[in-house]
Amino acid sequence: MANLEKLKQHQQAKKLRTNRYFSEDFKRKKVREIEKNLTTVTQISREYEVSGVAVYKWIHKYSFNMKKGVKQVVEAKSDTVKIQHLKEQIKELEQIVGQKQILIDFQQKMMELAEKELDVDFKKKFGSTPSSGSGQTERNTPIK
């Protein structure tokens, strides 16, 4: 019963609807919006009550990319957002790495100055024997 009422309403709306014509300027504007990913074909067709096929015809006729033979990479909006978020994260991490590198350079310079000032060698030598406090001793090793 509800479906029958919806069908009657749809038929009445169809009778009341007149043929509409969109200007070329309007069509070009909407095609540019689609190319710049500001809107989608579905959004335009819903908003202006025009079929998706008609919008695709506009794209075919007025698109700069179609005339040049350019292939447009289509990706989901969520992927675009993820990529943008990851780029921001990379930028943030690069700043942190840069700050850490500055800190390391500062500490190395301070150690060099302290070595000269105090006449003490702070840097670890690879060929030297370990101090008595490092490594395992017989008391610390577990018995099997």
| pLDDT tens digits along 82-129 | 888 999 999 999 999 999 999 999 999 998 998 889 888 877 666 666
- Of the pLDDT bands very low, low, confident and very high (cuts 50, 70, 90), residue 38 is confident
Is the pLDDT score of 46 beyond 80? yes
User: Under a CB-based contact definition with an 8 Å cutoff, are residues 34 and 59 in contact?
Assistant: yes
Alpha-carbon separation of residue 100 from 66, 96, 103, 104, 112 (angstroms): 49, 6, 5, 6, 18
The Cα angle at residue 15 between residues 12 and 21, in degrees rounded to 5: 135
Share of the chain above pLDDT 90, in %: 27
Count of beta carbons in the 10 Å neighbourhood of residue 31:
22
- Prediction pTM value: 0.39
pLDDT at 109: 93
